[in-house]
Structure 1
Amino acid sequence: MGAAPDTALETMELGEATQPADTGEPKEPEYSNPLLRPALTGDVEGVQQIFADPEDPDGEKAMQLLMEKDIIGRDLLYATSMAGQSAVIRALAKYGVVMKDKTVRGYTLLHCAAAWGQLETLKTLVELEADILAMTFRGEKARDIADRYAQTDCVEFLDWAEAKQALRTFIAHIQATIADPEKVQGRLNKEDKNMSLSACRVKSDWLENTKEPTRQDFLDQKQQLEDIMLPIFTKLAMPRERGRSNSAFDS
């Protein structure tokens, strides 16, 4: 393993605030976030109990403190990700906790999990649609952070996840393009449209049904789709034909 993650990714100093001097004045009892211990120790039932019990007075306060950020924009979720508490993260997601926040320098939960080699947490965050392309102020994705700290398994997984996302994104781009009359009218006919949508269905079915595809499999499938779509995109790049507003495509 490489050097320890740098300051921007270090564990938050939770509960270590300097105590005020004793002035002799009566003090209000300090509120301790009841989520802190269960979140960092992986006590999913403890987390669920706080959120699920409508009579628990800690629920609203716990959510507020869960999302409270330190000076560089980290909240308790960052420490939870560094600690590799995937089950807790999954539980919190069910209660609407936002997983896509960034620190002031652009670090995400994915960056933190990647730096600390928390592979299962990375998988959980990607499943929860965390942005694997998000970059820090240094222009580094989570994959780059994992590579910097020699977290090989994390690098391989994030490369795999990015290739999968690229195929899905390309399919969605094609579908959105074909569905946009402003882009296709006067350029594509009905056969072009049907061929494009059929190719997308084939690749979507492949994504849904292929067991344990590799990164190269995703790259190959995307290349095949690009080859199929090349003549279509060539037509879309050409000037619109005049007098085609009532073409077969519009039927």
Structure 2
Amino acid sequence: MTELHQAAAAGDLQKVEEILTGNRCSPNQRDVDWSYKTPLHWAAAKGHAETVRILIEHGARSGLRTEHGWTPAHFAAESGQLAVLRLLHSFHAPVDKEDCCGDKPVRIAEIYGHQDCVRFLKRAEIECQAYRTVAAQKGISLDDTDEEWAEQGKENGKNNIQQ
């Protein structure tokens, strides 16, 4: 786990900004010891919305997945972090991707009983899909796919990616 991962998990906004502005660590660095989580996964799971915002503004990719296919939205849904889910959605993060078991963030929120997150994610999924359609029509590039995870899934036959 890098210093940036630790700062993001702790919600240490000053440290996160210091590391990112000093280019001391990529905001997309995957931690091989923790299921390939990025600092954004940690911040989302812990509910540190401002840290999530700073990471994304410094190039953190919200579509990157852990080894089991979880996006930051899955982690926010698991821990009931509605503010983080709203923020991710405002940045057009994929809030509707399936993990390797076929579960979307809305299902994770259901499992953990976070009904406010479930209600939000049901609406957000529709908006997310509509935005993808408009983006495709207008030629707007979206960063909602994790190419590395998709390639590993093809090789291992482990995941089911819904694009």
TM-score by length of 1: 0.48
4+ long deviations beyond 6 Å: none
Aligned equivalent of 1:108: 71
Q: Secondary structure at 2:80's aligned position in 1?
A: coil
Distance 1:43 1:167, change over 3 A: same
Aligned equivalent of 1:91: 54
For residues 8 and 52 of structure 2, what CA distance do their matches in structure 1 show?
8
Q: Number of residues paired by the alignment?
A: 137
Larger CA Rg, structure 1 vs 2? 1
Task: Please give the root-mean-square deviation of Cα atoms over the aligned residues, in Å.
Answer: 2.4
Cα offset, 1:129, TM superposition: 1.7
- Structure 2: which amino acid aligns with 1:70? V
Aligned equivalent of 2:30: 68
Aligned equivalent of 1:39: 8
Tell me the alpha carbon deviations over residues 178-235 of structure 1, each in whole angstroms, 9 at most, x when there is no partner: xxxxxxxxxxxxxxxxxxxxxxxxxxxxxxxxxxxxxxxxxxxxxxxxxxxxxxxxxx
Please state if 1:129 is matched with 2:129: no
2:41/2:72 contact within 8 Å kept: yes
For residues 94 and 171 of structure 1, what CA distance do their matches in structure 2 show?
23
- Structure 2: which amino acid aligns with 1:50? I
Cα offset, 1:75, TM superposition: 2.8
Tell me the alpha carbon deviations over residues 13-35 of structure 1, each in whole angstroms, 9 at most, x when there is no partner: x6xxxxxxxxxxxxxxxxx72x3
Aligned equivalent of 2:114: 151
- Calculate percent identity across the aligned residue pairs: 27
2:41 to 78, 87, 95: 78
Tell me the alpha carbon deviations over residues 15-73 of structure 1, each in whole angstroms, 9 at most, x when there is no partner: xxxxxxxxxxxxxxxxx72x3454233232332233224xxxxx32x337x61322532
2:40/2:55 contact within 8 Å kept: no
For residues 114 and 160 of structure 1, what CA distance do their matches in structure 2 show?
14
For residues 138 and 37 of structure 1, what CA distance do their matches in structure 2 show?
28
For residues 100 and 74 of structure 2, what CA distance do their matches in structure 1 show?
12
Distance 1:36 1:162, change over 3 A: closer
Distance 1:164 1:76, change over 3 A: closer
- Structure 1: which amino acid aligns with 2:111? R
2:80/2:114 contact within 8 Å kept: yes
TM-score by length of 2: 0.71
